[in-house]
Structure 1
Amino acid sequence: MKRILAVLACAMLVGCSSMPYRPAQADGAFPGLVDFVATAPGRSVDVLLVHGMCTHDERWVVDTVLQLSSALRAQAQSASAAPMAVAEGIQLFERTITLRQGELRIKALVWSPLTTPLKHQLDYDHSDRLPAVRAKLNARAKDLLMNDCIPDALIYQGVSRDAIQQRMAQAILRATEGAASEAPLLVLSASLGSKILFDTLLRMDVAAQRTIDRIAYLVMAANQIPLLALADQQAVAPGPGARPATPAATAAPGGDSLQAVLRKRRAAATPRAARKLTLVAFSDPNDLLTYTLERERYAPLGVDVVNVLVSNAPTWFGLLERPDHAHGNYLLNPDVARMAACGQPHSARCE
């Protein structure tokens, strides 16, 4: 009898969970990585991976490349036995995915070590160190989101911002050096990593223009640009005689660094920059830290904008999706990897 009740309870729980956006739902068509490889000069493209908030390491690189390789039915090869330290606190991992159509040369930047030392100041608050007892879900949210993830955004938007951008600029130059000017650059970035990337490209001036011109495909997971852009805008007009604050490298008031990068790309007098860029934003509606892209803000800047709604984890009883899973599982979501790799609708080039 107990076994029967247990089975019924499990069945009820399964029935009370759902993943409303699996399969994912896109509001437009877009190409995939495989399509850019097939049409690129020399059948070779560069793919820049930039992670978002929360602690990341080589495991993130391995898992992300594995998902992309699986979607493309290919195998990835490591370009080096160990990561390169391309800037103090930033590591570069290189992988190559070989397809029938050509090669994806992947450069993954792991910037997490820049903020980890400061975040250790919060270790004392970890749930397994406190004498108090937290509810399990609250403990998970506090330990991961509040003590590990959110601090990354606070650190970056604070006094460390310039230093982080300086290190990231060195890393970007190292990751993109030696590439042919006509070779497209495909970028997959997540949450805070997108903001750091765009801010850095803007401050690099002439050195970044070549990189900006080459971007042909921009995939943004867990987009936080609308939220983080608030930190670059004036809430209250400064009083008389106040010294002006150091301006952030963003667009006009009310704008954001993504818009500024797109304007800089459109203004460049190069044939590649004149071509439309494909911008795809993956969002889980239950992700508290993610925002879809407003097409009217970016489409006039020579960009095809597509929003894709995904479910990264089950929704329970129609009430809750675990916040840590909702925000942290984008590039590990098979739907996201498949669509980024093979486009929408599914490319015939994906075997």
Structure 2
Amino acid sequence: MKKILTLLGILLLSACTTPFHPPVTVRDSKPFAGMAQLLAESPNKQLDVILIHGMCTHNRQWAVNTINIMAKAADQAYIPLPAPTDKAAPSGQEIEVVTATTKVGGGTIRFNALIWSGLTAPLKQLLAYDDTGTPTNCAVDAECKPQRASVNGKLKDTLLNDCLSDAIIYQGDSKDVIGKALVAAITNVMEDKAKAGRDDGAAVPLVLVAESLGSKMTFDALNSMLQNEETRGKRAANTLADRIATLYMAANQLPLLSLAERATRLALENKQMRRTDSLSQFLDQLPKRRSIVRPLTLVAFTDPNDLLSYLLLPAHYDSSKVAIANVLVSNDKTYFGLLENPYAAHTGYLQNADVAQAIVCGLPDGGHCK
């Protein structure tokens, strides 16, 4: 019996793989610096970071966890931030901003995590009746809770009802309201930095880390700010465009979500296949001379088993304005070469030590992490 159990254990271990650990850099990707190198090369040893989460409900715990993971990757001596006392799901029609200033590797990183889950929470409550629970007799009971296979039930409650619903909400009538809220939050963050005297000569580099739907939302908001004649928002967007050094995108969804803004006829005629998404619009508006001398770099992390993520094709963007790197990662284990948990595959990027290491230390490693 013991031999049989041992054999089964060996079989399970051999059948469980993480094919992209360590990460694999896609051919022709540009090498990129990590946050630790940007911090070390900053004249004032300062770095500003804006974090924007993707679909699915996020709260303060997400912000603290992400900040701790990244800071720890840069400096093993870093003392983690304590867990937040309020871990409730956000509510209300304003974006919550969690800020933290951390001393890392002889420099200072200022984090601003934007939590927008409260904006979509009320609409997602309309699907709450469908959450998997204790099965009832749907033929006679007042409440119908049909029996579901456990895996199907978990995926319905999370990937569909809580996650994909965010993308559907954003692409619908709520897009304008969500966009304005994000514009206000980004404007406030950029103004707070200026008030604190942090933009001396606009020398402090800025890094943006966005997940999933958050990438599309961010580029939409920045384009709106740059195109709008409203003074505050335009000034904030110009400052951001002038200082941004690197964009790290986890679970890149731009190719998928941009389909909603393309015309089928033009696509079929091959007239709208390139440079038509919100990223290319942002690149078109970048100033010709920027305070950050280093070229703008965009790094897209993709788990090939993430059903909602896509590579970012460099040929679709102006190479004179942006250097693009695609990095393949494994967010969870693959079983028997058949399945990786779809939820973990899509939501696990910023909790993945490989992704954090690449964002902070660069690929190839620049030798600036302690």
Return the TM-score normalized by structure 1: 0.89
Partner of 2:161: 147
* 1:117 has 2:122 as partner: yes
> Displacement, 1:21?
0.1
Alpha-carbon contact 1:76-1:95 (below 8 Å) kept: no
User: How has the CA–CA distance of structure 1 residues 101 and 278 changed in structure 2, closer, same or farther, with 3 Å as cutoff?
Assistant: farther
Counterpart secondary structure, 1:8: helix
Counterpart secondary structure, 1:271: coil
* 1:212 has 2:233 as partner: no
What is the identity, as a one-letter code, of the residue corresponding to 2:162? D
Indicate which of 175, 189, 212 corresponds to 1:161: 175
Distance of 1:43 and 1:321 partners within structure 2: 40
What is the identity, as a one-letter code, of the residue corresponding to 1:257? S
Distance of 2:86 and 2:289 partners within structure 1: 36
Alpha-carbon contact 1:71-1:338 (below 8 Å) kept: yes
Indicate which of 80, 91, 94 corresponds to 2:96: 91
Distance of 1:236 and 1:148 partners within structure 2: 33
Distance of 2:96 and 2:16 partners within structure 1: 39
Partner of 1:245: none
Unaligned runs of 5+ in 1: 238-250
Identical residues among aligned pairs (%) = 40
What is the identity, as a one-letter code, of the residue corresponding to 1:45? L
> Displacement, 1:124?
1.1
* 1:334 has 2:333 as partner: no
* 1:230 has 2:259 as partner: yes
Partner of 2:305: 286
Partner of 1:10: 9
Alpha-carbon contact 1:183-1:214 (below 8 Å) kept: yes
> Displacement, 1:273?
6.5
Distance of 1:42 and 1:211 partners within structure 2: 18
The alignment of Structure 1 onto Structure 2 pairs a total of residues equal to: 332
Q: Over the residues paired in the alignment, what is the CA RMSD in angstroms?
A: 2.3
Q: Kindly report which structure 2 residues correspond to 1:157-196, keeping only aligned pairs within 5 A, or say none.
A: 157-177=171-191, 178=194, 179-180=198-199, 181-196=202-217
Partner of 1:75: 79
What is the identity, as a one-letter code, of the residue corresponding to 1:75? I
Alpha-carbon contact 2:275-2:281 (below 8 Å) kept: no
> Displacement, 1:270?
3.1
User: How has the CA–CA distance of structure 1 residues 233 and 13 changed in structure 2, closer, same or farther, with 3 Å as cutoff?
Assistant: same
Partner of 1:49: 51
What is the identity, as a one-letter code, of the residue corresponding to 1:345? P
Counterpart secondary structure, 2:158: helix
Partner of 2:141: none
* 1:199 has 2:206 as partner: no
Return the TM-score normalized by structure 2: 0.84
Alpha-carbon contact 1:75-1:98 (below 8 Å) kept: no
Q: Kindly report which structure 2 residues correspond to 1:287-306, keeping only aligned pairs within 5 A, or say none.
A: 287-306=306-325
Partner of 1:247: none
> Displacement, 1:69?
2.0
Distance of 2:13 and 2:320 partners within structure 1: 45
Distance of 1:184 and 1:227 partners within structure 2: 30
User: How has the CA–CA distance of structure 1 residues 184 and 138 changed in structure 2, closer, same or farther, with 3 Å as cutoff?
Assistant: same
